Amino acid sequence: MVTPDERKLTLRKPDACGRCAVALPVGSLAWYRKADKSVACQSCAGKPEPITPGAPGASALAEYEKRRRNRERRTRAAHPHLGGLIVAFREPPASEEAWRIGAEGEQQLAAELTRRLVSTTAALLHDRRIPGSRANIDHIVIAATGVYVIDAKRYSGRIERRVDGGLFHSGRGRLFVNGRDKTKLVEGIRKQADIIEDVLADLPGEPVPVHPILCFIDGHFPQMRPPVVNGVPVLWPKSASRRIARDGPIAASRIADVSAHIAARLPACGVVQPNTRGRAA
């Protein structure tokens, strides 16, 4: 089924189908999709697209590698004779290592979710690009109880919810990690959930609930029950998996439809979109 944001056009320059990769010479009739600026040949137009689950931590790992290469290049340029030794023995900066550590956390969480949800109907998407932004969504799980938007974090220390104090306190909860206010993490995952709700707004059928989750790979929870900060559960991988695996009303066929819809709107990071220059309506 051709979607409303697709239109038929004649190519002015050669291109390739974004679904089957068949070459499309000049003058070919194709379907252009505005959402991701891709084209589809007439055979593929209207057919369900294969879902690319994505590689956990791919964008964080790419950023780490870019920073590492740039640091090594600068060091070798500044020290032509000793640059190699300096690179080998000097510790990398924390700002660089944070990207590697974050990528490892996403990979660990993805492995845990996959292992614990293998016997369910849940579908997993990882490292999804947000159109028009450099940001990404770590994990999206489509399950029988809704869509779960999950941000993976590897912070050490005590993880707890505190309530604003003062004479006229609002009672608003705040997230503290190792004594530092990290409430911005809650605000960030809520914005990601809003993006998914917007993506699902034009999906036919019954509305699908969207649930944001902050998931800490490391860290210490002082209480048996994980905190909920301003409506966002703050969980560890095992408790997140248990919550997602609950029985719910969403059928497997509906899960497949929702997964395909989200995957089409939010491509996996690292997936190169077809060239769109030179097209004509």
pLDDT of residue 274: 40
pLDDT of residue 270: 65
155-205 residue pLDDT tens? 989 999 998 765 445 557 899 999 999 999 999 999 999 999 999 998 989
Domain segments of the chain as ranges: 6-50+272-280, 108-265
CA distances from 23 to 42, 264, 281 (A): 12, 21, 19
DSSP letter, residue 273: P
Q: What percent of the chain has pLDDT over 70?
A: 89
Distance of CA 189 to the CA centre of its chain: 11
71-114 residue pLDDT tens? 999 999 999 989 899 999 999 999 999 999 999 999 999 999 99
pLDDT of residue 96: 94
How confident is the model over 110-124, as a mean pLDDT? 95
Among 80, 91, 2, CA closest to 48:
2
Q: What is the mean pLDDT of the chain?
A: 87
Among 214, 113, 99, 109, CA closest to 159:
214
How many alpha carbons lie under 13 Å from residue 189 in its C-beta half-sphere? 28
Q: Does the domain formed by 6-50+272-280 have CATH 3.30.60?
A: yes
Q: How confident is the model at residue 281 (pLDDT cuts 50, 70, 90)?
A: very low
108-265: what fold?
A: Trna Endonuclease; Chain: A, domain 1 (3.40.1350)
